[in-house]
Amino acid sequence: MNIVEIIQKKRDGRPLSAAELRYTVDGYLSGAVADYQASAFCMAVWFNGMNDDELSAFTEAMRLSGDTLDLSPLGITVDKHSTGGVADTVSLIALPIAAACGCRIAKMSGRGLGFTGGTLDKLESIPGFRTRLSEKEFFGTVEKYGFSIIGQTGELAPADKKFYALRDVTATVDSIPLIASSIMSKKLACGADALVLDVKTGNGAFMKTPEAAHKLAGALTRIGRLAGKRTAALVTDMNQPLGTAVGNAVEVAEAVSVLRSAAPGRLTELSLRIAAEMVFRSQKAASIEEAQKAAAAALESGRACRTLAAVITAQGGDAGIIDDLSRLPHPAHRLTVCAGEAGFLTAVETEEIGRTAMMLGAGRLRKEDGIDPAAGLVLSKKIGDRIEKGEPIAELMSAREAVLPEAAARLKKALTVGEAPVSAPPLIYQTEES
Ligand code: URA
Ligand code: CA
d(CA 433, CA 368): 37
Question: What average pLDDT does the segment 376-388 reach?
Answer: 98
* Any atom of ligand 1 within 6 Å of the Cβ of 157: no
Contact indicator for 375, 331 with CB cutoff of 8 Å:
yes
Question: What average pLDDT does the segment 395-416 reach?
Answer: 98
> Which pLDDT does position 365 carry in this prediction?
79
Closest residue CA from atom 1 of ligand 1: 183
Cross-strand pairs, 106? 148
Furthest CA-CA distance within the chain: 69
d(CA 163, CA 402): 40
Query: Within a 13 Å sphere around the CA of 355, how many CA atoms are in the beta-carbon half?
Result: 15
Contact indicator for 246, 373 with CB cutoff of 8 Å:
no
154 pLDDT tier (thresholds 50, 70, 90) = confident
Query: Within a 13 Å sphere around the CA of 175, how many CA atoms are in the beta-carbon half?
Result: 23
Probe target for ligand 1 pocket from 176, 178, 182, with the most ligand atoms within 8 Å of CB: 182
* Any atom of ligand 1 within 6 Å of the Cβ of 183: yes
Asked if residue 258 has pLDDT above 90, the reply is yes
Sign of the alpha-carbon dihedral angle for 349, 123, 431, 300: negative
The minimum-distance atom of ligand 1 relative to the CA of 183 is: 3
Asked if residue 113 has pLDDT above 80, the reply is no
Distance from Cα 85 to the centre of ligand 1, integer Å: 13
Question: What value does the mean pLDDT of the chain take?
Answer: 96
Distance from Cα 218 to the centre of ligand 2, integer Å: 24
Distance from Cα 187 to the centre of ligand 2, integer Å: 14
The percent of residues above 90 in pLDDT, for the chain, comes to 94
Probe target for ligand 1 pocket from 113, 164, 167, 200, with the most ligand atoms within 8 Å of CB: 164
Q: Which of 215, 237, 233 is nearest to 224 (CA)?
A: 233
* Any atom of ligand 1 within 6 Å of the Cβ of 240: no
**pLDDT, tens digit, 9 for 90 and up, residues 157-206:** 999 999 999 999 999 999 999 999 999 999 999 999 999 999 999 999 99
Asked if residue 429 has pLDDT above 80, the reply is yes
Written in H, E and C, the secondary structure of the chain is CCHHHHHHHHHCCCCCCHHHHHHHHHHHHHCCCCHHHHHHHHHHHHHHCCCHHHHHHHHHHHHCCCCCCCCHHHCCCEEEEECCCCCCCHHHHHHHHHHHCCCCEEEEECCCECCECCHHHHHHCCCCCCCCCCHHHHHHHHHHHCEEEEECCCCCCHHHHHHHHHHHCCCCCCCHHHHHHHHHHHHHHCCCCEEEEEEEECCCCCECCHHHHHHHHHHHHHHHHHCCCEEEEEEEECCCCCCCEEECHHHHHHHHHHHHHCCCCHHHHHHHHHHHHHHHHCCCCCCHHHHHHHHHHHHHCCHHHHHHHHHHHHCCCCHHHHCCHHHCCCCCEEEEEECCCCEEEEEECHHHHHHHHHHCCCCCCCCCCCCCCCCEEEECCCCCCEECCCCEEEEEEECCHHHHHHHHHHHHHCEEEECCCCCCCCCEEEEEEC
d(CA 163, CA 334): 42
Probe target for ligand 1 pocket from 116, 167, 173, 190, with the most ligand atoms within 8 Å of CB: 173
Cα angle 173, 177, 179 (rounded to 5 degrees) comes to 45
DSSP letter assigned to residue 368: T
d(CA 258, CA 25): 44
Distance from Cα 197 to the centre of ligand 1, integer Å: 13
Element (H, E) at 258: helix 249-261
* Any atom of ligand 1 within 6 Å of the Cβ of 339: no
Strand order of the β-sheet with 376-379 is: 245-247, 376-379, 392-398, 333-338
* Any atom of ligand 1 within 6 Å of the Cβ of 179: yes
The minimum-distance atom of ligand 1 relative to the CA of 186 is: 3
Active site residues: 81, 160, 167, 182, 186
Reported pTM? 0.96
Instruction: List, in order, residues 6 or more apart from 219 with CB less than 8 Å away.
Output: 55, 176, 177, 179, 180
Contact indicator for 145, 307 with CB cutoff of 8 Å:
yes
Pick the ligand that lies closest to the CA of residue 142: 2
Of the listed ranges 200-209, 362-371, 380-389, the one predicted with least confidence: 362-371
> Which pLDDT does position 368 carry in this prediction?
81
d(CA 119, CA 135): 19
Closest residue CA from atom 5 of ligand 1: 179
Mark the residues whose beta carbon lies below 5 A from ion ligand 2: 72, 193
d(CA 148, CA 131): 9
Contact indicator for 304, 257 with CB cutoff of 8 Å:
no
The minimum-distance atom of ligand 1 relative to the CA of 179 is: 6
> Which pLDDT does position 353 carry in this prediction?
98
Distance from Cα 351 to the centre of ligand 1, integer Å: 17
d(CA 3, CA 28): 10
Question: What average pLDDT does the segment 223-240 reach?
Answer: 98
d(CA 387, CA 339): 7
> Which pLDDT does position 32 carry in this prediction?
98
346 pLDDT tier (thresholds 50, 70, 90) = very high
